[in-house]
Structure 1
């Protein structure tokens, strides 16, 4: 599967907005978005549909300037992008600061609540938890899941604790039994294999913006699937650190060309505090 096929349009859209709009109080012309995402492998109709869905979900605001429609961030999308920014540039892929604390979450749901059970397990997985036992999940560090549980309407059915393992516990074995380490390691190795050539091969100037967009979107997706397990309890040759060095090296190499391309290709306007536009407005 190619990188373009494996990345959802909304993931690329959010990455694009994080690069070009976040923190700048600007809106970007829909035609510019279509152009850049097209270079990253997303068709025009898919981009227009994604813009519309993101507006309807409160992730984007519209702003008309003459006959052109521009899109800017909302408080909700800003929060999402700030979280991604922290994960990429501050938290990192390798957990060397773990203090021995675990978050334990136990739940007991009625047998008929299959959808709620599926939703809870999915959200816990994205939050770095793994199934220690049936109905008891565990994550490294202190993980705040109060808003997640409340949003799912399961507060009365979930109990959360902080804990430390007994001195006789084999934490490495517990980690191997709870998380799919081989699958996660393979993802890091595959990422590094795909992007390693760009550490030395000069990119075409017109391709740099789309390449950086795909690079960052793919890296963010990868580290968001990583529960950030304590590195001292992982296999000795754990590949996350090497993959992160490749990400940073390629990003640094692409950035001057990508920034120059953005300056040339993007139509940006300042944010106006206007009343909300009509739902009939389209991308």
Structure 2
């Protein structure tokens, strides 16, 4: 949290938290203005957008000599999944079963292994062994999507099973995830953002907070909180430790987010509409 977020990450956050809800294209000039609030310059924004376009996250449209961008179908799917997980306040009820993802990828496809591991981890799977991943959540659709995406139908086996080992279900959790480390990160998030929330309320009560400041603070809040998507598998309550900080972090995030939402969206719409008016004139 001490280092400033990179340009690409901030663009993902802005698309996920603002632009995807509008279902509109955004002018690159508007993106540049929005990212300027975080200290990013025009060159870095254009370079990041270009990379995201080439990687298939964005689509573009030209109007005159101006470029407008929207999320691609792939980008929309990822943002929708992330949004559901970010704003989820409580875990699902567990059915007592595990979903297991076994793969044996030949050397000819070794280039997809690291990408597959990252995708499995992001979706909520944990590695029991290098080629054996599992989750207590029903992520069969997500697994099938990855199999299709990387063309792995001949190399992957999916199972739904119950644990019958000598230990308890929590022993599988301990083998796949370090919940103590995740809990520490949640504790740090709570400490930092409780303080920020109090400071924002004081500034607001004194009339010393601007729309732009709310936009920056809300966007950074989402940016920091969404990092948990990469480390927290979203386990059912039955498998979580007794003093789990994830629930308190989710409640704090939700409350602070709602507090900042009105003025933050107002600032975003101001910048967005300036670029949209230019587009309508052509």
Same fold (TM over 0.5): yes
Choose which of 102, 108, 118 in structure 2 pairs with 1:122. Answer: 118
Give me the whole-angstrom Cα distance separating, in 2, the residues matched to 1:82 and 1:222: 16
What SS does the aligned partner of 1:87 have? Answer: helix
The verdict on how the C-alpha distance between 1:110 and 1:60 changes in structure 2, with shifts beyond 3 A counting, is closer
Write out per-residue CA displacement over residues 68-120 of structure 1, whole angstroms, 9 at most, x where no aligned residue. Answer: 4332333332222222222223xx26424121121012223457975444343
Measured after TM superposition, the shift of residue 244 of structure 1 is 0.7
Larger relative helix fraction: 2
Mapped contact 1:93–1:223 kept (Cα < 8 A): no
Structure-to-structure mapping, 1:131-146, within 5 angstroms: 131-144=127-140, 145-146=143-144
CA contact (8 A) 1:30 1:70 kept: yes
Matched positions, count: 268
The correspondence for 2:248, drawn from 223, 242, 246, is 242
Structure 1 residue 47 displacement after superposition:
0.9
Q: CA deviation at 1:181?
A: 1.3
Task: Find the partner of 2:43 among 45, 58, 63.
Answer: 45
**What is aligned with 2:276?**
269
Q: 1:66 to 1:111 in 2, by over 3 A?
A: closer
Selected match of 1:61 from 43, 59, 62:
59
TM-score by length of 2: 0.83
Q: Which residue of 2 aligns with 1:86?
A: 84
Please, which runs of 5 or more residues in structure 1 have no aligned partner? 273-283
Query: For residue 9 of structure 1, what is the aligned residue in structure 2?
Result: 7
Per the alignment, residue 74 of structure 2 pairs with 76
The higher relative CO (CA closer than 8 Å, separation ≥ 6) is in 1
**TM (normalized to structure 1)?**
0.82
- The Cα offsets for residues 129-150 of structure 1, whole Å up to 9 and x where unpaired, read as 2222453221112222122123
C-alpha distance in 1 between matches for 2:24 and 2:13? 16
Asked if the contact 2:92–2:236 (Cα under 8 Å) also holds between the matched residues in 1, the reply is: yes
State the 1:65 CA deviation.
4.2
Kept in 2, the 8 Å contact 1:208–1:257? The answer is yes
The alignment's C-alpha RMSD in Å is 2.7
